[in-house]
């Protein structure tokens, strides 16, 4: 499975979490999709880039560190975490629909958003 296919999978998990007004830890997301938490940053980048390019609330703000309760260092889409999480909860993600892996890949190509080298994004997850 490619990085972008995994990102599309994570999109669905996060859209459901938003609908339920839930914040998820990296560990929980990793367990839900079968990927170690340390590999999630490069899988979240396509979602962050897509949201930034399409002026959507940053869906990846719902993935937080268990220790700090805030997104990791790769998250650049917002400063006020609590307020922006409320905006993500209020957005109708089912109305927007999920982007394809190809659209997520295009988003990263247009706007890399977490400083992960492109070569790392091309492998399988």
Q: Give SS3 for 102.
A: helix
Domain map (residue ranges) of the chain: 3-113
pTM to 2 decimal places: 0.89
The whole-number pLDDT of residue 38 equals: 86
**Residue-level pLDDT, tens digit, the chain, 125 residues:** 999 999 999 999 999 999 999 999 999 999 999 999 888 999 999 999 999 999 999 999 999 999 999 999 899 999 999 999 999 999 999 999 999 999 999 999 999 987 544 434 444 44
Q: What are the angstrom distances between the C-alpha of 2 and each of 69, 78, 117? A: 28, 27, 16
Assess contact for 49 and 108: CB atoms under 8 A.
yes
Q: How many CB atoms sit inside 10 A of residue 21's CB?
A: 12
């Amino acid at each position: 499975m490619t990085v972008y296919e995994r990102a599309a999978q994570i999109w669905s998990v996060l859209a459901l979490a938003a609908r339920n007004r839930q914040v998820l830890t990296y560990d929980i997301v990793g367990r839900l999709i079968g990927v170690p938490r340390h590999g999630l940053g490069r899988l979240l980048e396509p979602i962050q880039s897509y949201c930034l390019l399409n002026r959507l609330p940053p869906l990846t703000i719902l993935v937080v560190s268990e220790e700090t309760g805030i997104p990791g260092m790769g998250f650049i889409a917002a400063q006020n975490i609590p307020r922006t999480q409320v905006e993500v909860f209020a957005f109708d993600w089912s109305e927007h629909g999920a982007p394809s892996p190809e659209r997520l890949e295009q988003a990263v190509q247009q706007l890399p958003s977490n400083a992960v080298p492109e070569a790392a994004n091309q492998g399988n997850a």
